Structure 1
Amino acid sequence: MDSDLDLAFKEAFKAISKLKEPVAADIMLKFYAYYKQATAGSKFPFEGKLDVRNAFKINAWMQLKDMSSDQAKKEYIKLATTVLKNRK
């Protein structure tokens, strides 16, 4: 059974995924990093082409290496709440 934090994280992810208008690249990098840290922790498996875009994504994620999964979920939810509030 999912905790309240897990449910809130999943809802925030769904809400951000459904946005029609683009989010600024720096904010999307934060979402990516928080999501990866929340779901994969500090294991940095990367598959695919290592181009500039993916290098930025990996760098953003690696900066959170000491953050717990729960804290990453909380940060993702907080950022999502801010972005969604500013869209209204």
Structure 2
Amino acid sequence: MTDIDTQFAQAHEDVQQLPERPGNLTLLRLYALYKQATRGDVHGDKPGFTDIVGKYKYDAWAALKGTAQDVAKQQYVELVESLKSGTAA
């Protein structure tokens, strides 16, 4: 496992132990970065208008299209670290 993979795995554990739940936009960003880091570019059909949450998740992930998986991992780690230190909302 590379260094970024180790940091990413640790950040994924750390995010579940945060003392406060992040806001919805931050949660969407975490979701999108995680999906981009683990699955690559978005795939599948976009959810319909009746699935509001699914639509927002899909759109957040789609916004990262073309982002390298290692870059997404690094951004995920940085976001989790900022949440742990209290510098992100």
Question: What TM-score, normalized to structure 2?
Answer: 0.86
SS of the aligned residue for 1:44 comes to coil
Q: Is contact 2:34–2:76 with CA below 8 Å preserved after alignment?
A: yes
Letter in 2 for 1:39: T
Following superposition, the deviation at residue 20 of structure 1 comes to 4.2
Counterpart residue number, 2:6:
7
Following superposition, the deviation at residue 21 of structure 1 comes to 2.2
% same residue = 31
Q: Is contact 2:42–2:62 with CA below 8 Å preserved after alignment?
A: no
1:74 and 2:74 matched? yes
Question: In 1, Cα distance between the equivalents of 2:24 and 2:17?
Answer: 16
Q: How many residues align?
A: 85
SS of the aligned residue for 1:22 comes to coil
Instruction: Summarize the Cα distance change of 1:73–1:4 in structure 2 as closer, same or farther, 3 Å threshold.
Output: same
Deviation digits for residues 23-65 of structure 1 (CA, Å, limit 9, x no counterpart): 100000000000000000014246x886101110010000001
Following superposition, the deviation at residue 18 of structure 1 comes to 2.0
Q: Which structure: greater helix fraction?
A: 1
Counterpart residue number, 1:55:
55
Question: In 1, Cα distance between the equivalents of 2:71 and 2:18?
Answer: 24
Counterpart residue number, 2:23:
24
Query: Unmatched 5+ residue regions in structure 1?
Result: none
